[in-house]
Amino acid sequence: MARSGRSTSFLIGSTCWSVVTGLICLALADSVRVPERSPTILAENTIQAVERLFNQVLYATIEDARQRLPGLPANESIDRQYFEELDLVAGNEDYYSTAFYIFAWINSDLMYHNTPNKLLIEVLPGEKIAIRRFFAKVKPHLTKYLRLSRQDKSELVSNMTQLATETNDSLITTFLEFPQNLKSQLPELQLMDYTKLAQALVQGVARGIWMKAVNT
């Protein structure tokens, strides 16, 4: 985030580390799961469908935020440079792990129960709609997968139904936790590593603007 002055620079760094810490918790939770299994064609097709829908939400929210930047003061939004940096990322997993990080950053005030900035206030209604649609569209894919793989996960399907109509702000956190929660219930449905950038920041191997944000 781009904010002027020493105090606002500190806020950038602390917000960034808060987001990193939260996303790393998701990665660590994943690391204690059962050993990976070779996905079947059915599992691979389901993974691809779920990832496509999940990525659509990330993309839609980020593009909505990007379009709103010119009308917002710098201390109430995110520096456009981070969005431009995202455009330069090559590789599907690298791109969407960066998008996942920016999505979490946009929503960080909500995640940590702080007063939301103007950017979040403006994008929140639209991203809630997108997330509800995500859960509504994911449900048929998971229902089909469970039926064909002969697994009974009625609670998982029931949760998808409930989340498709959820209006509470907790919907954002539930969306961020979805890849981890899906893997915990169906280990063979392991989505791409959306915490890849956050892990790189902690390990000190991220480059450019991302390390600058952490070290500010």
pLDDT of residue 24: 53
For residue 157 the two structure tokens come to 């399907």
Q: What is the pLDDT of residues 145-176, one digit of tens each?
A: 999 999 999 999 999 999 999 999 999 999 99
Angle between helices 170-185 and 92-106 (to 10 degrees): 140
Question: 2 pLDDT exceeds 70?
Answer: no
Residue length of the chain: 216
Radius of gyration of the chain, Cα coordinates, nearest whole angstrom: 18
Q: For residues 34 and 29, what is the distance between their CA atoms, to the nearest angstrom?
A: 11
Confidence of residue 39 (pLDDT cuts 50, 70, 90): low
pLDDT of residue 142: 97
pLDDT of residue 201: 78
Count of structural domains, the chain? 1
pLDDT of residue 166: 97
pLDDT of residue 113: 87
Q: For residue 173, how far is the Cα from the chain centroid?
A: 9
Q: For residues 212 and 157, what is the distance between their CA atoms, to the nearest angstrom?
A: 42
Taken in order 32, 37, 43, 44, the sign of the CA dihedral is positive
Exposure string of 164-189, with b = 16+ CB inside 10 Å and e = fewer, is bebeeeebbeebbebbbebbeebebb
> 81 lies in which domain range?
5-215
Q: For residue 1, how far is the Cα from the chain centroid?
A: 17
Q: For residues 36 and 189, what is the distance between their CA atoms, to the nearest angstrom?
A: 10
pLDDT of residue 200: 79
